[in-house]
């Protein structure tokens, strides 16, 4: 998807997002530690052709579950070499 994409954080800290699945359909799921993607199978989250419809389904599902919405800035970064999550780097301002 693009900048319009939104992510949600589950109660156990997993990040849920919309991704293109096999073929032309979009699915909802979570990234695995090994770099794979695990689909969340639910009648409320069908695989669909339109990514915006899929995102809308996720937003409604997440609201029912009470999941928090997060921005790309809050997304944990992963090391490409080892796959471990790196701490966020935040800019701090010094008052002089």
Q: Is residue 94 part of a domain?
A: no
Please write the tens of the pLDDT for every residue from 32-85. 778 889 999 999 999 999 999 999 999 999 999 999 888 765 556 666 666 666
pLDDT for position 12? 86
**Cβ-count burial 69-91 (b if 16+ within 10 Å, e if not):** ebeeeeeeeeeeeeeeeeeeeee
pLDDT for position 33? 77
pLDDT for position 73? 55
Q: Is residue 90 part of a domain?
A: no
Q: Is residue 30 part of a domain?
A: yes
Q: Is residue 84 part of a domain?
A: no
pLDDT for position 42? 96
Please report which confidence band the pLDDT of residue 17 belongs to, taking 50, 70 and 90 as the band edges. Answer: very high
Domain count, the chain: 1
Q: Is residue 80 part of a domain?
A: no
Q: Is residue 51 part of a domain?
A: yes
Instruction: State the residue range of the domain holding 57.
Output: 7-73
Q: Is residue 88 part of a domain?
A: no
């Amino acid at each position: 998807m693009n900048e319009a994409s939104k992510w949600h954080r589950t109660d156990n800290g997993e990040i849920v997002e919309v991704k293109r699945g096999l073929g032309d359909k979009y699915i909802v799921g979570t990234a695995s530690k090994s770099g794979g993607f695990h689909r969340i199978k639910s009648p409320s989250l069908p695989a669909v052709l339109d990514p915006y419809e899929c995102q809308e389904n996720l937003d409604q599902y997440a609201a029912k579950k009470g999941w928090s919405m997060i921005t790309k800035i809050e997304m944990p970064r992963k090391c490409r070499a080892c796959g471990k999550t790196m701490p966020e780097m935040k800019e701090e301002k010094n008052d002089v």
